[in-house]
Amino acid sequence: MRPNIKTKIKPLALYLGFSGLIPFLAAPLLMAATQSFYPEVAYAQVVYGASIVSFLGGARWGFAIPAGSPAQPDWMNLGNSVVPSLVAWLALLCRDNIAEGALVVIMGLGLSLHYDLTLLPGYPAWFKAMRTVLTLVATFSLVATLTFKKFCIEKKIKEIQN
């Protein structure tokens, strides 16, 4: 007897969702361990955050398109699916101001969570809880990085020389 595919989705989604926090958490953990702020690492964290924000918009688009989806492929759902990608692009334009870029990513994460919790019907409760936790951890990791920027000495990552 084959196990029901729906019983496998939840653990897989949890494992993959939480593994997606690794790049968010790596930056402030490195900075905490070294008591230094690394702008290249902080920007990499913002870039990763922007890619996640864009991914969340694409996931929403994918949820609204299939026939029989509780979310109709209308102007509201498809339009709101594009907004996170535009927010992510805006965050990447803030290369010279890491604080602004991080704040734009935080806004994009929050906006995406709002859409998922309030505007799209049909997501199961466990998924909404997971999205909330993932968004909070990602947000607090960006805030932690900004805290290190404020209170720690800035250092550059040494280039590997041949």
Residue 35's region, left for phi above 0, alpha for psi from -120 to 50, else beta, is: left
C-alpha dist (Å) from residue 97 to 14, 73, 90, 141: 33, 37, 12, 17
Q: In the structure, what pLDDT confidence band is assigned to residue 2 with cuts at 50, 70 and 90?
A: low
What mean pLDDT value characterizes the chain?
A: 91
pLDDT score of 160: 47
Q: How many CB atoms within 10 Å of residue 29? A: 13
Query: Average pLDDT in the 91-106 region?
Result: 97
Q: In the structure, what pLDDT confidence band is assigned to residue 105 with cuts at 50, 70 and 90?
A: very high
Residue 75: is its pLDDT beyond 70?
yes
Q: In the structure, what pLDDT confidence band is assigned to residue 122 with cuts at 50, 70 and 90?
A: confident
Query: Average pLDDT in the 44-71 region?
Result: 93
Instruction: Provide the token pair at 136.
Output: 């909070």
Q: Which residue carries 């339009």 as its tokens?
A: 79
Residue 103: is its pLDDT beyond 60?
yes
Query: Average pLDDT in the 137-158 region?
Result: 96
